[in-house]
Amino acid sequence: MSQISERLMRGVSKPAGAAALLVLEDGAVFRGTSCAAAGEVYGEICFNTSLEGYLEVITDPSYAGQIITMTYPQIGNYGVNREDAQAEVPALRGLVVRDMCATPSNWRSELTLPDYLREHGVVAVEGVDTRALVRHVRDHGAQRAVLSTVDTDEASLLAKVRASESIVGVNLAATVSCDAPHTFAELPASHEFAVAGGAAPRHRVVAYDCGAKRSILENLVRAGCDLTVVPWDTPAADVLAMEPDGVFLSNGPGDPEAVEGTYVQVEQLLGKVPVFGICLGHQMISKAAGADIEKLKFGHRGGNHPVMNLLTGRVEITAQNHGFSLVFPSLGALVPELSGGFKGHEDDLRFWANAHIAPVVQNERFGRIQLTHVNLNDGTAEGIAFLDIPAFSVQYHPEASPGPTDAHYLFTAFTRLMDGRADYLDIDIAEDRLAGWTFGAQQATVPGATASVTEGGR
């Protein structure tokens, strides 16, 4: 082979990685090769169906304690821009892909995904039959798994994973929350080619950081919130002493039952200040109202989940990342006169979507609570609104990082709730979903710069 041919081959080929093994606690084995840091990690196996946004997925703090499988076969094609990351460091335990790209092509790329993962010590494997793996998890449910590049003995790894800790009952939010209160006003300059600057601050908001994604905080800033971020277990009295116009409860990882330090505080905040919760924040509001939470068989993770807004009849395509869900009937008995005359609860909440009714229950602690959103894939609860106090929450991610922008209106709804408007959720989502996008109207700035600086932090 000529020198030119060898050079061309080196440019389009990648060296084979070391052997790697993924073993699930039920004995399923998947072989591949290492494509990032070497090591051995344990966590709950899960999968994400997003077609793009792999960096936002990998850096989402909600994945603490988990080994992520990406269902899209080619990952890393457009490299990494650090300002797209949702946290300073990835919180996931490991990554499984079909094919990892080592030579990305994109004008915003700063480095390759494998180099980024190695930089942060993330163990990853490629060459796995991810279709077979995802089918197995869908059939047999989420479970403990071990990913190793240092031990490739199946029996040894199976014994280890069966002795490993489950994420159930573990407070993972505490591991990814901030250490101290800090202000947040950061809007990445490298996003200015597509997204306009935020509105002038007009609402003081305190955000509980249970593992908040940076894009969620950025959306609050863009909506006009003067934002102070506090740790997951900040006492309600300390929050109220800041005299906020509203309180935001962030997304976060793991079992909500274990995050008692947050939902006990939320119970003291509800009715005293407007409250908005997303994902784990939705579960914190539900727990504060005395609801039960159930673990889903394999969770909702991806950017294509259809959710019906029962108030409008509109269907939103949503981004989701959670493994637990609110049991809506546990909030209280139905109020028939506000629920289409129906007196009994339905386990499959798609009943209410078919009936075009947003049912209302009578809660012992906070009065009437309305079911506002339902997942059309499996009939689980996706949103609730309190009718006698200013509070609402959704299970999915309206910040669209990654994912569709159908649910962007919820940030606007929060500002309207703080304005005291009873019609805060009555928003044309088709118009709102495009709000703030410039689509190239502004010239892109140099990647790495920021519009402002976060004070304090992790």
321 among the known binding-site residues? Answer: yes
What mean pLDDT do residues 172-193 have?
Answer: 92
Q: Residue 283: enclosing H or E segment and its boundaries?
A: helix 280-288
On the question of pLDDT at 458 being above 70, the answer is no
3-state secondary structure of 369: strand
pLDDT digits (tens, 9 = 90+) for 201-239: 999 999 999 999 999 999 999 999 999 999 999 999 999
- Percent of the chain whose predicted confidence (pLDDT) is above 90: 85
Q: Which residue has the higher pLDDT, 15 or 448?
A: 15
Would you say 254 is a known binding-site residue?
Answer: yes
Just list the catalytic residues.
279, 397, 399
Q: What is the pLDDT of residue 456?
A: 35
The pTM (predicted TM-score) of the whole model is: 0.92
How large is the average pLDDT for residues 137-148? 97
Q: Residue 445 has what pLDDT? A: 42
The yes-or-no verdict on residue 393 having pLDDT over 50 is yes
Query: Any known ligand binding at 268?
Result: no
The CATH class, in words, for 3-162 is alpha beta
324 labelled as ligand-binding? yes
Check whether 330 is labelled as a binding-site residue. no
CA distance 42 to 24: 10
Is the pLDDT at 8 greater than 60, yes or no? yes
DSSP conformational letter for 72: S
Contact 293, 325 (CB under 8 A): yes
Asked whether the predicted pLDDT for residue 82 surpasses 80, the reply is yes
441 pLDDT more than 60: no
The torsion angles phi and psi of 384, rounded to 5 degrees, stand at: -140, 155
Both structure tokens of 79: 């490299």
For residue 453, pLDDT over 60 is answered with no
pLDDT at 16: 78
Long-range contacts of 431-434 (CB under 8 A, 24+ apart): 432/408, 433/404, 433/405, 433/406, 433/407, 433/408, 433/409, 434/405
Q: pLDDT, tens digit, for every residue of 281-340? A: 999 999 999 999 999 999 999 999 999 999 999 999 999 999 999 999 999 999 999 999
3 annotated as belonging to a binding site for a ligand: no
Flag whether pLDDT at 342 surpasses 60. Answer: yes
Cβ neighbours of 2 (radius 10 Å): 7
Q: How far is CA 321 from CA 33, 57, 197, 305, 454, in A?
A: 27, 9, 27, 10, 26
Residue 300: strand, helix, or coil: strand
Q: Contact, 396 vs 279, CB < 8 A?
A: yes
Q: Is the pLDDT of residue 95 over 80?
A: yes
pLDDT of residue 186: 82
Give dist(CA 413, CA 225) in Å, integer: 12
What is residue 440's predicted lDDT score, i.e. its pLDDT?
47
Domain residue spans of the chain: 3-162, 173-432
pLDDT at 242 over 70: yes
Query: How many Cβ atoms from other residues are within 10 Å of residue 179's Cβ?
Result: 10
CATH class of 173-432: alpha beta
**Spatial contact of 335 and 354, defined as CB atoms under 8 Å apart:** no
Q: How far apart are CA 101 and CA 10, in angstroms?
A: 14
Tokens of 274: 């407007």
326 is in an annotated binding site: no
